[in-house]
Amino acid sequence: MNTLRIAVGSTRHPKVNAVRDACASFAGLFGPDTKCEVAGYEVGSGVSPTPSSREELMQGARQRAETLEGRLRAENVAAEFFVGVEGGLDVVTEETGRRVFLESWAYVSDGVRGHFGCGGSIELPQLLAEKVLEQGVELSAAIDEFAGAVGIRDGKGAWGVLSTNLISRQDSFRVAVLAAFAPHYNARMYGAHAAAAH
């Protein structure tokens, strides 16, 4: 039995469970007897509570993974992969105005190579976007107020509210994690292209 120990830079259930779900999909690609052990750890992202650009989202995901890697190495805790996931906003300016998208990003490192993945985008209603960007309200608080509920980010998330539960927060992170892991579980394809480029 081959065990992949995967450390996640968060203890929030939608994030950790998204990594577990993703691992269940690709574990067999590492070998027929491969299983994953996923553990969440609380680490900071180093970015604002609600990132407001794609660059900040990517930076937060990467910093979570790299901070966790450094911490676990210092504590002599072994892991094959370090995962950072970050959700927030990407603001796009068009000639006709501004569009604000909720996005989920992941960064996966094996300690040598790291790769990003995105779980798609869903557009925010203008009033919700203004509350976060102009009034400075954290998205988690703004979506609770917007939907008339409490603790939404620990369940279906803003994704669930905006898509009437067709896409949950966990779903979006799962896709991001699957995409970020691709160069690792499909190393033959990525390695072939890297070798051909040299």
**pLDDT surpassing 60 at residue 176:** yes
- pLDDT, mean of residues 31-48: 94
pLDDT at position 78, please? 95
- pLDDT, mean of residues 98-118: 96
Q: What percent of the chain has pLDDT over 70?
A: 96
- 156: in domain: no
- Average pLDDT value over all residues in the chain: 92
- 135: in domain: no
Report the 3 state secondary structure along the chain: CEEEEEEECCCCHHHHHHHHHHHHHHHHHHCCCEEEEEEECCCCCCCCCCCCCHHHHHHHHHHHHHHHHHHHHHCCCCCCEEEEEEEEEEEEEECCEEEEEEEEEEEEECCCCEEEEEEEEEECCHHHHHHHHCCCCCHHHHHHHHHCCCCHHHCCHHHHHHCCCCCCHHHHHHHHHHHHHHHHHCHHHHHHHHHHHC
* Total of domains in the chain: 1
- 148: in domain: no
- pLDDT, mean of residues 157-179: 94
pLDDT at position 192, please? 54
- Residue 31's CATH number: 3.90.950.10
Structural domain range at position 102: 2-123+167-197
- pLDDT, mean of residues 117-131: 95
- 82: in domain: yes
- pLDDT, mean of residues 161-169: 92
